[in-house]
Amino acid sequence: MTNGILLALLAYASFSWGDAVIKALGGQLSVFEIGFFSTLFAGVFVLFAKPRGERWRYFWKMERPVAVQARALSGIAAGVLGIYAFTTIPLAEAYSLIFLSPLFVTILSILVLGEKVGPWRWLAIAAGFAGVLLVVQPGFRDLELGHLAAALIAVLAAVTVILLRSLAREKRTSLLGVMILYGLVFNGAAASLTSFSLPDAGQLGLLALVGVFSGVGQIGLLFATRFADANRIAPTHYSQMLWAVALGALFFQEYTDPLALLGMAVIGASGLLTLVRENVRLGAVRWNPFRNRL
């Protein structure tokens, strides 16, 4: 189990470094160009994240094609919004809003699935939103579209979790393959219709680095699930908030004040409480070991 947790921590660290590289590209390339090239390079590495017994050439054979494609579309939207959020607002604030996704899962479970929610999960929802107020501090600092984008990512991630509850038997190659294909087509078309400029050698190197980090993260999570149960790995996801604080300060001069740090701790605690209650209620946390965005 220890090996699985360590691999998961490495995977989420890799994702965080990839997000930091995306932030560094902000202002140099359009959101869609970053999305296209990062998906292209990430797709090369994700080819190695194939579970045993599956073949990429059969990724188009799906048991529930509508749900798979809906999941892919939510992933594409989350990817574009993620690039915009990371390039326009501090990393710590973006992650804090994105990590509201477990709370939105609870809300959607009530609205869509008709599930009953007890007082502990309601407490987690209230605490999570209170934590966001501490981080973002509306009224004391300007809110930007990047904050809205990050919040929408949390909603889309929750939608993905709800969809994945009906896709438990679907091939992982189908889930990833469709999302990569759609991501390339959508971002490529959008980039060509907007202000497209061919990246220079340095920018291509950074985009390839995003692909490396994403690929390492995907493969790391794949191997992590072989050493530990998904419900044991899930809490390591919150290590990304620590990376956001460190990388933001180290490379972008984004310094998180004590009140925001407290808010991030509250968000993390509320998310973990939600995961624990899901574990108690279902016997295992329904956790997707792969990211909602490449």
pLDDT at 237 over 60: yes
Report whether 255 contacts 246 (CB < 8 A).
Answer: no
User: What's the pLDDT at 156?
Assistant: 92
Measuring CA to CA, how many Å separate 115 from each of 105, 111, 190?
A: 11, 8, 38
The pLDDT assigned to 238 comes to 86
- pLDDT tens readout for residues 12-42: 999 999 999 999 999 899 999 999 999 999 8
* Residue 289: per-residue pLDDT: 39
Q: Which residues contact 34 (CB under 8 A, 6 or more apart)?
A: 22, 25, 83, 87, 207, 210
- List C-alpha distances in Å: 74 to 155, 158, 274, 294: 10, 10, 22, 12
3-state secondary structure of 64: coil
Instruction: Note the pLDDT of residue 139.
Output: 64
Instruction: Record the pTM.
Output: 0.87
Q: Is there a contact between 283 and 231 (Cβ–Cβ < 8 Å)?
A: no
**What pLDDT is stored for residue 280 in this prediction?**
53
User: What span, in angstroms and rounded, lies between the C-alpha atoms of 287 and 289?
Assistant: 6
* DSSP β-bridge partners for residue 70: none
- Distance between CA atoms of residues 206 and 188, nearest Å: 18
Rounded to whole angstroms, the Cα distance separating 69 from 63 reads 11
pLDDT of residue 292: 55
What is the average pLDDT across 111-134? 82
Which amino acid is residue 68, in one-letter code? V
Please give the C-alpha separations between residue 247 and each of 149, 234, 235, 244, in angstroms, as whole numbers.
Answer: 20, 22, 20, 5
Read off the pLDDT band of 230 (50, 70, 90). Answer: low
Q: Where are the domains of the chain?
A: 2-282
DSSP 30: -
The 10s digit of each residue's pLDDT in 81-109 is 999 999 999 999 999 999 888 888 888 87
Per-residue model confidence as pLDDT tens digits over 138-193:
766 778 999 999 999 999 988 887 887 777 778 878 888 888 999 999 999 999 88
Q: Write out pLDDT tens, residues 244-282.
A: 999 999 999 999 899 999 999 998 888 887 766 665 554
Q: Could you give the maximum distance between any two Cα atoms of the chain, in Å?
A: 54
6's CB contacts (< 8 A; 6+ apart) are none
